[in-house]
Homo-oligomer: A and B are copies of this chain.
């Protein structure tokens, strides 16, 4: 739409941003991945949370009902899929910390998984949202691993993430358009 001056348009954008504020990273990534899927850009999905079923039975309608089950730890990252023939793999985490990203947020077997995927030339990264800074970064797995292998801290400092990572500008539909960043990397 054309407005005689930019004022009305700006107000609309502001309202939309305001409306969406407070959505969590997982919802934003779901919207982003749905956008990619619907537009045949990439096919990347969040894996279901692994659940250990202890008790299950059938109800009157003949459906299996789980009566007792527990969440179990994932052995891989949460998201994977394909983009332009490339294998994509990442983990997404939010933190309230403003000094950095606590390494304990990534399980040891997930760290092993990142190393494995890199060894097979997969495109592998973390998406980290600093909720209190209102900033979301893509940090390549190689940079994450280099940090934890060499610097013995309990968190990856925000300075390092700002230096090595890529700030993801939030958009309306492709909320967390991480593939734009992948496109600009030398990997493709």
A65 at the interface (CB under 8 A from B): yes
* Residues of B contacting A120 in the complex (Cβ-Cβ under 8 angstroms): 42-43, 82-85
Segment of A18-26, A66-74, A127-135, A167-175 engaged in the interface with chain B: A66-74
Could you tell me if A70 and B65 are in contact, using CB atoms closer than 8 angstroms? yes
Could you tell me if B40 and A119 are in contact, using CB atoms closer than 8 angstroms? yes
A118 to B84, CA, bound (A): 10
The 8 A CB mask of A13-43 against B (1 = contact, 0 = none) is 0000000000000000000000001001011
Q: Contact residue range for chain A?
A: 35 or more
Could you tell me if B82 and A122 are in contact, using CB atoms closer than 8 angstroms? yes
* Residues of B contacting A122 in the complex (Cβ-Cβ under 8 angstroms): 43, 82, 85
Could you tell me if A70 and B75 are in contact, using CB atoms closer than 8 angstroms? no
A49 to B83, CA, bound (A): 24
**Segment 36-93 of A: residues with Cβ below 8 Å from B:** 37, 40, 42-43, 45, 47-51, 63-71, 75-76, 80-87, 89
A121 at the interface (CB under 8 A from B): yes
* Residues of B contacting A50 in the complex (Cβ-Cβ under 8 angstroms): 48
Could you tell me if B85 and A121 are in contact, using CB atoms closer than 8 angstroms? yes
A117 at the interface (CB under 8 A from B): yes
